[in-house]
Amino acid sequence: MTRARSIAARRLRWDELFEVETPEKWTCSEENGVVSFFDPQSGVGALQVSFARRPETTVPDERHTSALAQQFALDRGWNVKDSEILRYEIAGAPVSEFSFIEAQKSRKYWCVWHVASHERIAFITYTCAAEDAEVEKEERTGIVQSFRWLSGDNPRQTTN
């Protein structure tokens, strides 16, 4: 019988833009607008969050985040089928998610999320060696699932 691990977590806020829960042993840093989360002692990958403003004035939905996922994959020459892109919500925010293993020598594993608010898109990636894809799955999934927009970035709120 397999038991789920209990991961001690802490809630982090970033520049009044978003907050997440991270495992206590993970650390974070920011460089050039990209926030990175990782386990400095025994980690195998890194989860990175960056942002862009949404030019649209419509309420965001899963079609928008799905289109961003498809474009990201296309830009990298990855063959990701529409049926391989998951669509759901986190705290009312539309999300797309897919994973991909690069075929080159490096065999890098990628998991990619787009989380929309009315004003912004959070672009979240997790990368590691393909053979380590399952090692930090619980941790990275927990961080992404805890993602919350702060202040004026409510995904279903329109501004005038």
Rounded (5°) CA angle 64-31-62: 10
Q: What is the pLDDT of residue 95?
A: 94
CA atoms within 13 A on the CB side of 147: 31
pLDDT for residue 155 = 55
Q: Which residue has the tokens 């930090």?
A: 136
> What pTM, to 2 d.p., does this model score?
0.85
Per DSSP, 27 falls in state E
List, for the chain, all residue ranges whose pLDDT scores fall below the cut of 70: 1-9, 57, 151-160
* pLDDT computed for residue 3 by the predictor: 33
- Report pLDDT for 87: 95
The pLDDT value recorded for residue 158 is 43
**61 near 95, Cβ under 8 Å?**
no
CA-wise closest residue to 110 among 119, 102, 118: 102
Architecture of the domain made up of 14-151: 3-Layer(aba) Sandwich (3.40)
Provide the pLDDT for residue 8. 55
Domain boundaries, the chain: 14-151
**How far apart, in whole angstroms, are the C-alpha atoms of residue 104 and residue 114?**
25
